[in-house]
A and B are shown apart, each in its own frame.
Chain A
């Protein structure tokens, strides 16, 4: 039934409510990132110097963690559609591990920046860095919690779990990927 509804404007994958949330988030982050690009273009040399203080390699590994989590979550949905709840659960677990790895590596990065005195008051670039990545970190943490709750409900009540719930949960998870895919270049690669 959900498959047939997907072509309807009212039933995007995961339901219309999660997509309203996703677009609100994307627009909010989008405005902040364009503002960062604008101010960075006005003082390019200063933003470039600050950007060099970030670690591109750590950010690239974190991107790989998030993309892996996205792949595992997408695979979980495919196996759920085949009623293979064992593989659905396993892929969701791997998605959660990827998210947790991202969160831990980000804490390591935060600690090194904080220890070096690069806090939120250091410069406009670092104010943006802390605010944008900090809020994104919270979103990833919420995403891990959502995956945990949905996975537990799939394990406990396999026949009551709905595809739309799983798709909505994984859509939130993918939203964290989407935001990061736009944050990563603007903070780490382009200045």
Chain B
């Protein structure tokens, strides 16, 4: 479990650096979609791994993933 948490943490840092770096090149189009997808990936990694939602009842996982999906969809439709 500790190894899985460390992998998650490194992935979170990598996604943060990539998203920030990408935002210096552009803030619209494909880059915007990539930044939003990276943010949602981080959101899901924290919830499912750090908060251990992956071990919880499916209801909690589905509500969490639905929330992330709806927010990312709204961001994409409004800001792509």
A residues with CB within 8 A of B:
6-9, 11-14, 19, 23, 26-27, 30, 33-34, 37-38, 40-41, 48, 51, 56-57, 59-60, 63-64, 67-68, 70-71, 73-75, 77-78, 167, 170-171, 174, 177-178, 181-182, 184-186, 188-191
Contacts and interface: CB of A to CB of B under 8 A. Distances in A.
Interface residues of B, number: 41
A131 to B, nearest CB: 18
A182 B43 contact: yes
Contacts of B52: 6, 13, 74, 77, 167
Interface of B: 1-2, 5-6, 8-9, 12-13, 16-17, 19-20, 23-24, 27, 32, 35-36, 39, 42-43, 46-47, 49-53, 55-57, 59-60, 63, 67, 70-71, 74-75, 78-79
Given A12-B60, A74-B50, A188 B23 contact: yes
B5 A181 contact: no
Given A6-B56, A13-B53, A56-B23, 19 more contacts: A12-B56, A13-B55, A33-B71, A37-B75, A57-B20, A68-B9, A71-B6, A71-B12, A74-B5, A74-B50, A78-B2, A170-B51, A174-B51, A185-B39, A186-B75, A186-B79, A189-B19, A190-B23, A191-B79
Given A13-B56, A64-B16, A71 B9 contact: yes
Nearest to A38: B78
Which residue of B5, B6, B63, B70 has the most chain A CB atoms within 10 A of its CB atom? B5
A59 B47 CA distance: 21
Nearest to A27: B67
A12 B20 CA distance: 33
Contacts of B12: 67, 70-71
Contacts of A57: 20
A71 B67 contact: no
B50 A185 contact: no
